[in-house]
Amino acid sequence: MSDPATADTRQYVLFRLRDEEYGLPISAVRSIIRHEVPTPVPGAPAEVEGVFNLRGQVIPLIDLGQHLLSDALVVTDAARVIVAETSYGPVGLAVDCVREVANIAVADIRPAPAAALATETADAFEGVAPYGDRLLILLDPEKALPRPVFASAAALTGDGDDA
């Protein structure tokens, strides 16, 4: 039961980090949960809030706003954790709120303007796309977390790849 109109669209989970709206491919999202206070890990990078237990699995929690915007999350009732599956394993991404799931036409996705991106995070962006009256920043889940930070977090949980 494949609809030809959906063949040229991708689904994204839309969420907010401070005043900006971002999208993460739904194919990378394992679950969305309420923000919970993680167990801090001494010596972890600033972006790593700590670790938390999700159905028996210890998962690192990354403050995505701290990483992308250098602005730590202020936890509110709307704060959520998007548990994303990456090639390094599952990781929790702390965000201000999750808004909706959106269908974005592939033809509408444009490269993010290089002049507007910081060198450290430029690879994190898949592109930008209009959605209604707003512009979404689409993240590449494999690149949104810099390998050194995620490798450090994974090592703290014992789930990291030693290679």
Domain of residue 112, CATH code: 2.40.50.180
Under a CB-based contact definition with an 8 Å cutoff, are residues 50 and 81 in contact?
Answer: no
Residues paired with residue 134 on neighbouring β-strands, in sequence order: 131
Length of the chain in terms of residues written: 163
Return the DSSP state at 109: -
Alpha helices in 59-128 (DSSP H): 64-69
The pLDDT assigned to 2 comes to: 45
Structural domains of the chain, count: 1
For the chain, how long is the longest CA-to-CA vector? 51
Is residue 56 domain-resident? yes
Domain hosting residue 84, numbered range: 4-157
Is residue 162 domain-resident? no
pTM of the model: 0.81
pLDDT beneath 70, residues of the chain: 1-7, 114-123, 145-163
Q: Using alpha carbons only, what angle is made at residue 161 by residues 156 and 163, rounded to the nearest 5 degrees?
A: 125
Under a CB-based contact definition with an 8 Å cutoff, are residues 94 and 73 in contact?
Answer: yes
The pLDDT assigned to 113 comes to: 72
Q: Starting at the earlier edge strand, list the strands of the sheet with 97-105.
A: 97-105, 9-17, 20-25, 134-139, 125-131
Task: Kindly report, residue by residue over 38-67, the tens digit of the pLDDT.
Answer: 999 898 888 889 999 999 999 999 998 888
Is residue 51 domain-resident? yes
The pLDDT assigned to 97 comes to: 97
